[in-house]
A and B are shown apart, each in its own frame.
Chain A
Amino acid sequence: MRELEKSTIILVLPAIVAVLAFTSYLLGQAFYLSLREYSPLVRIDEFIGFRNYVEIVGNEEFLRSILRIVIYTGIVVGIGSLLAMGMALLVFKGFRGANILKIVIISPMLLIPAAGGTVWTLLYNYEFGLINHVAKWLGFARISYLSSPERAFYAVILTDIWSWTPLLFLIFFAGLHSLPPDSLEAAEIDGATSWQKFWYVTLPLMRPIVVIGVLIKSVDTFRTFDYIWIMTKGGPGGNSHVIGTITYRSAFRFFRYGEAASMSIVSLMISLVMSMIFLWYYTRVTRRQV
């Protein structure tokens, strides 16, 4: 066994050096930067302690972007998982053409996020977008989406739901497949309605998969950047900035690397909390399975 231990340590070394050590070094750098005011464009580079943190905590725009990413994650994951569960149950039910429907459902994933964002920008356009064409055809008034300070953010959320719900669908669908069929059959023999079957048999059995799927999706959604940056650039008037875009803007539009680093340390803290929750649940579930 000693030999096994030795060889496994050697085998895991590259990963430790190339990934763990390097990432830790980078995060250390980020923390070090966050204590400085560093802006090569205007040639400032000085140590200022925690002033960057004091400033971003007093920055209403930044606080709002945190609130917004929480809302964003909540809506995308919440609606997404309901929708995905519905679709998974529907396809799992099995009818002729269910396989084709499955392909149709996952097709949004074929559009890479950058392309998805641009296509939806066209859909939302006031004059030429399909959504307003349909609204007009149905007799409703046209609405501006990406140019409206209230709606732009939610319009982006809808796009995210469109393109990444298929992922949750696949996770839930695989989860349904992995259920033991005899428990469902037993419920059927007992004369349970399909709703009861879902609520009392399927859902409890699927709970670990649903929770893990949702947690992972939350973490992934939390670091969203591309849809917002492509569709609104955080606009109109900074009304759809989330933590990712506002950090990016601070670094690459205002060239305030120190401030951007302190923002990213804050988002790191938040996602650490999220991953701790995940880790706790994951180890509990996997241990029980073993």
Chain B
Amino acid sequence: MVLYSRDAETGMTTILALLRRIGLVVVIMMLIIWSLFPFAYALLLSFCGSVLPTKLGLPAAFSLDAYKMVLFEDPIVRYLVNSALIALFTCIVVSLISIPAGYSFSRNNSRGFSLLFCTFLVLRMLPWIALVVPLFILMGRARLLDTKASLVITYTIMQAPLAIWLMKGFFDTIPVELEEAALVDGASRLTILIKVVFPLAISGAIVMILFVWLFSYIEFLFALSFTRMKAMTFPVKIAGYQSKGKTLWRAMSGASLISMIPLIFLFVFLTKRIARGLTLGAIK
């Protein structure tokens, strides 16, 4: 990698510049190692043969058994599907709730509404463990344990506050003047909403949906408590690989790596927007 820094261009003494450059390279190398070494080791283990390496170095033999297992023998695909579908349904329900709510909070600045809005912020900060026991009992009574519906309901109440917050932020960036102009033209409130405001908010809604999808996809606590089999999600499955049972280290590493695939697509799109989303729009 060829590196240059602006300082070097401005003509500092060459030795100092060289030292800085070496320092920079070292720091960057360390960052790369720090970020990537777990992936590298997981990759190595997933291809490892019968005996795991007991010292630094390559394993004695390689095999594809781990991938054979997670793809064919005990396919993790089923659990990935569960995770993905539950997250998708959550997205749909959350959008139905949060887009209108976000619009309202953006357009109505009365005192009552601001207070209500703050309440939703408090919900965003709720410790989820507080909901586990009552929700669990409720789901048990409603015979909803081990159904996708139980998780969709749970994730909806978990993610909706964040989604409302995001949507408010997006609607805030759409000028009210557009609506007022349409109102003068004689359009009804509903028409304005559907024809003028929502189309402009689509890009924001997509970001919101991807966020909700991501957080529902990786959720562990409720999935662990509520699912048995039909609705078991991927995080629960992979945590279960670590058990009194069989040698599943290789499969575990392989499955971890496979689970990253859907997220790669997501992050390509989200990287720039994630910061804004997570700070509740504090970064404009």
Interface residues of A (CB under 8 A from B): 3-5, 7-9, 11-12, 14-16, 18-20, 22-23, 26-27, 29-30, 33, 87, 90, 93-97, 101-102, 104-123, 127-128, 130, 133-134, 136-137, 162, 166-167, 170-175, 178, 194, 208-209, 212-213, 216, 219, 222-223, 225-226, 229-230, 243-244, 247-248, 251-252, 257, 260-261, 263-265, 267-268, 270-272, 274-275, 278-279, 282-283, 285-286, 289
Contact = CB atoms under 8 A, between A and B. Distances in A.
Interface residues of B, number: 101
A118 B234 contact: no
A267 B132 CA distance: 13
A172 B279 CA distance: 10
Contact of B108 (A4, A167, A248): A4
B255 A162 contact: no
Interface string B32-62: 1011111101100100000011111100000
Contact of B129 (A114, A208, A264): A264
Contact of B132 (A175, A251, A275): A251
Nearest to A242: B129
B178 interface: no
B132 A247 contact: yes
Contact of A272 (B108, B122, B129): B122
25 contacts: A4-B189, A8-B113, A19-B160, A26-B134, A30-B131, A96-B4, A116-B38, A118-B252, A128-B52, A128-B54, A130-B41, A133-B56, A136-B56, A167-B274, A175-B275, A212-B282, A230-B242, A244-B129, A247-B132, A248-B129, A248-B132, A264-B133, A268-B130, A278-B121, A286-B282
A33 B156 CA distance: 23
Given A114-B218, A244-B127, 19 more contacts: A7-B104, A26-B134, A104-B31, A104-B32, A105-B31, A108-B38, A112-B234, A119-B38, A119-B253, A130-B37, A170-B274, A174-B283, A225-B220, A226-B220, A248-B132, A264-B133, A278-B121, A279-B122, A282-B282
Contacts of A105: 31, 35
A243 B221 CA distance: 13
Interface of B: 1-7, 24, 27-28, 31-32, 34-39, 41-42, 45, 52-57, 96-98, 100-101, 103-105, 107-108, 110, 113, 116, 118-138, 156-157, 160-161, 164, 189, 217-218, 220-221, 224-225, 234-236, 238-239, 241-242, 249, 252-253, 255-256, 259-260, 263-264, 267, 271-272, 274-276, 278-280, 282-284
A260 B100 CA distance: 36
A170 B272 CA distance: 8
Contacts of B157: 18-19, 22-23, 26
Contacts of A133: 53-57
Contacts of A267: 127, 129-130
A257 B138 CA distance: 13
Contact of B38 (A111, A112, A136, A175): A111
Contacts of A271: 125-127
B283 A244 contact: no
A243 B130 CA distance: 11
Contacts, number: 306
B28 A101 contact: yes
Contacts of B160: 15, 18-19
Given A14-B96, A137-B56, A244-B221, A3 B129 contact: no
Nearest to B248: A118
Contacts of B274: 167, 170-171
A115 B255 contact: yes
Contacts of A283: 118
- Counting chain A CB atoms within 10 Å of each CB, the highest count among B39, B55, B97, B282 belongs to B282
B41 A123 contact: yes
B249 A122 contact: yes
Nearest to B235: A114
B41 A104 contact: no
A90 B35 CA distance: 15
B35 to A, nearest CB: 5
Contacts of B56: 130, 133-134, 136-137
A41 to B, nearest CB: 13
B49 to A, nearest CB: 13
B41 A247 contact: no
B41 to A, nearest CB: 4
